Chains A and B, each alone.
Chain A
């Protein structure tokens, strides 16, 4: 156990790899516009943080991501429930869903920006579009996963379909839905950034592009670092929600519930 979990060694490894990076860039005289050394990235991070420019754009990207996540998840849950509950709905919607699912959703970003403008709306829509599928698929699979014996038990008690849904199918689907939400959260961040690349007035994705045009690669790395931390914190938040909601799920720790990550980017 001590050999496997050693926090000091973990930090040392991180510091060592940064040192190797720094040394390699200096020794090989790699120009900063190709690969900046970590010291320059740190300096860029500090400058941006002090000036407040990162924070200003971070709030915008965060808002786009969260609103897109909420919109995409809500629609996915409603459509997924309709599909799982009614075979008729499934029959009529299925061709559209297959067609839409096999399309790379990021390719829609330029259209979305044309339709919804350079502001917040187009980013939210783009994030929602990409977040939609992972949760849709998991909601459908989850709602259909209720154990047949448990359904029989509910029926033997003369439960209504609504009661079976509320007391059995929905709780049974929760492990799948939570796994879908985690993927959807990461995907909404991707959707927001892609739409910012296509055309935006603000946001960290827009900032990356403007740094790119001015060959400020250290600045780009600084923003990438911020995005990575942001994604990590969003995921951590969801994981802690999952731990609370799914305290009863034996597979909770392994997070092996993702029914399917088809839906893709």
Chain B
């Protein structure tokens, strides 16, 4: 199953939480791989264990069983070659936009001088040219999340993990950022694992959608999305798109709790 080109391979992953009332099984028998340059979305309702899975992939939580390999090295703790974008931008208000983007460079001592121009290029790529010396609180929510994406890319990670990055934004900003993310991805071809509870967002962005069902969190099905890129927003009205969305929603319709 694990090919050489796989960036991520997850096998038999299991996570239990100890609570005062006994152990709770959060994730069970999770198996999937993500290829080099592939955009994979994981979609599921709130509380299905998506964020737990992401924290394990980021090395922030230990797994109870099974294994996760990044470029065939087992993930046992935080690594320097993973970029994470959280639901909120998580920017430091005392740092300028540029200094926020350079945070991974500072932490990993990669050399500010070498990365400054890269950071400015990346900021231009996400449409923030001229904002590098502003502070986060001077920017809108959507702009802040673009800064967070830039920060996730600055240290050239092997994989970018995105945990509902647009979940806190209004619908219009969200669609705009989906287009933007696709454009950035087409230009850079990063390996992306994108977690969301929006089925349309997942289908619009991903090469492949993993459907996660709750209690315990489990990958129920993998759905390839063979819609050619670049995809425009009207692709959502296409019958092909609707068919994939329906196929995914069938997993949740009986349980509810998920956005179209």
Closest Cβ of chain B to A155, distance in Å, is 5
- A153 contact from B77, B90, B93, Cβ within 8 A: B90
Closest Cβ of chain B to A98, distance in Å, is 28
Q: Does B135 contact A (CB under 8 A)?
A: yes
Q: How many residues of B contact A (CB 8 A)?
A: 24
User: Which B residues between 75 and 124 are near A, CB-CB below 8 angstroms?
Assistant: 77-80, 82, 84, 86, 88, 90, 92-94, 103-104, 106-108
Flag if A248 contacts B135 (CB, 8 Å).
yes
Q: Does B62 contact A (CB under 8 A)?
A: no
Q: Does A168 contact B (CB under 8 A)?
A: yes
Flag if B60 contacts A150 (CB, 8 Å).
no
- B94 contact from A153, A157, A163, A248, Cβ within 8 A: A248
Q: Does A56 contact B (CB under 8 A)?
A: no
Given A167-B107, A248-B137, the answer on whether A156 and B90 have CB atoms closer than 8 Å is no
User: Which B residues between 5 and 38 are near A, CB-CB below 8 angstroms?
Assistant: none
Query: Across the interface, which residues of B come within 8 angstroms of A159, CB to CB?
Result: 78, 107
Q: Does B58 contact A (CB under 8 A)?
A: yes
- A248 contact from B80, B82, B93, B103, Cβ within 8 A: B93
Q: Does B59 contact A (CB under 8 A)?
A: yes
Q: Does A152 contact B (CB under 8 A)?
A: yes
Query: Across the interface, which residues of B come within 8 angstroms of A156, CB to CB?
Result: 58-60, 78, 82, 84
User: Which A residues between 147 and 204 are near B, CB-CB below 8 angstroms?
Assistant: 147, 149-150, 152-159, 163, 167-168, 171
Q: Does A250 contact B (CB under 8 A)?
A: yes
Q: Which of B93, B107, B135 has the most chain A CB atoms closer than 10 A to its own CB?
A: B107
Query: Across the interface, which residues of B come within 8 angstroms of A147, CB to CB?
Result: 90
SS class, residues of chain B in contact with chain A: loop
- A249 contact from B55, B93, B103, Cβ within 8 A: B93
- Taken together as a complex, chains A and B put the C-alpha atoms of A262 and B104 apart, in Å, by 39
Query: Across the interface, which residues of A come within 8 angstroms of B86, CB to CB?
Result: 149, 152-153
Flag if A158 contacts B107 (CB, 8 Å).
yes
Closest Cβ of chain A to B90, distance in Å, is 5
Q: Which of A152, A155, A157, A167 has the most chain B CB atoms closer than 10 A to its own CB?
A: A157
**A-B pairs under 8 A by CB, number:** 53
Query: Across the interface, which residues of A come within 8 angstroms of B155, CB to CB?
Result: 157
Closest Cβ of chain A to B80, distance in Å, is 5
Query: Across the interface, which residues of A come within 8 angstroms of B80, CB to CB?
Result: 157-158
- Taken together as a complex, chains A and B put the C-alpha atoms of A165 and B103 apart, in Å, by 14
- Taken together as a complex, chains A and B put the C-alpha atoms of A171 and B92 apart, in Å, by 9
Given A158-B78, A250-B137, the answer on whether A149 and B59 have CB atoms closer than 8 Å is no
Instruction: Mark each residue of chain A from 125 to 166: 1 if its CB lies under 8 Å from any CB of chain B, else 0.
Output: 000000000000000000000010110111111110001000
Across the two chains, which residue of chain A brings its CB closest to B105? A157
- Taken together as a complex, chains A and B put the C-alpha atoms of A120 and B80 apart, in Å, by 54
Closest Cβ of chain B to A253, distance in Å, is 13
Closest Cβ of chain B to A167, distance in Å, is 7
Query: Across the interface, which residues of A come within 8 angstroms of B93, CB to CB?
Result: 248-250
Query: Across the interface, which residues of A come within 8 angstroms of B92, CB to CB?
Result: 150, 167-168, 171
Query: Across the interface, which residues of A come within 8 angstroms of B107, CB to CB?
Result: 154, 157-159, 163, 167
- Taken together as a complex, chains A and B put the C-alpha atoms of A119 and B93 apart, in Å, by 46
Query: Across the interface, which residues of B come within 8 angstroms of A158, CB to CB?
Result: 77-80, 107-108
Query: Across the interface, which residues of A come within 8 angstroms of B106, CB to CB?
Result: 167
Given A163-B107, A248-B137, the answer on whether A155 and B90 have CB atoms closer than 8 Å is no
Across the two chains, which residue of chain A brings its CB closest to B81? A158
Flag if B78 contacts A157 (CB, 8 Å).
yes
Query: Across the interface, which residues of A come within 8 angstroms of B60, CB to CB?
Result: 152, 155-156
Query: Across the interface, which residues of A come within 8 angstroms of B94, CB to CB?
Result: 171, 248
Query: Across the interface, which residues of A come within 8 angstroms of B58, CB to CB?
Result: 156
Across the two chains, which residue of chain A brings its CB closest to B55? A152
Query: Across the interface, which residues of B come within 8 angstroms of A150, CB to CB?
Result: 90, 92
Across the two chains, which residue of chain B brings its CB closest to A153? B90
Known: A149-B88, A149-B90, A155-B78. 9 other contacts (CB 8 A): A150-B90, A150-B92, A152-B86, A155-B60, A156-B78, A156-B84, A158-B79, A167-B106, A249-B93
B residues whose Cβ falls under 8 Å from a Cβ of A: 55, 58-60, 77-80, 82, 84, 86, 88, 90, 92-94, 103-104, 106-108, 135, 137, 155
Identify 26 residue pairs between A and B in the complex whose beta-carbon atoms are under 8 Å apart, listed by A's number: A149-B86, A149-B90, A150-B90, A152-B84, A152-B86, A152-B90, A153-B86, A153-B90, A155-B78, A156-B58, A156-B60, A156-B78, A156-B82, A157-B78, A157-B80, A157-B103, A157-B104, A158-B78, A158-B79, A158-B107, A158-B108, A159-B78, A167-B103, A167-B106, A168-B92, A171-B92
Closest 5 CB pairs of A and B: A248-B93, A158-B78, A156-B84, A157-B107, A159-B107
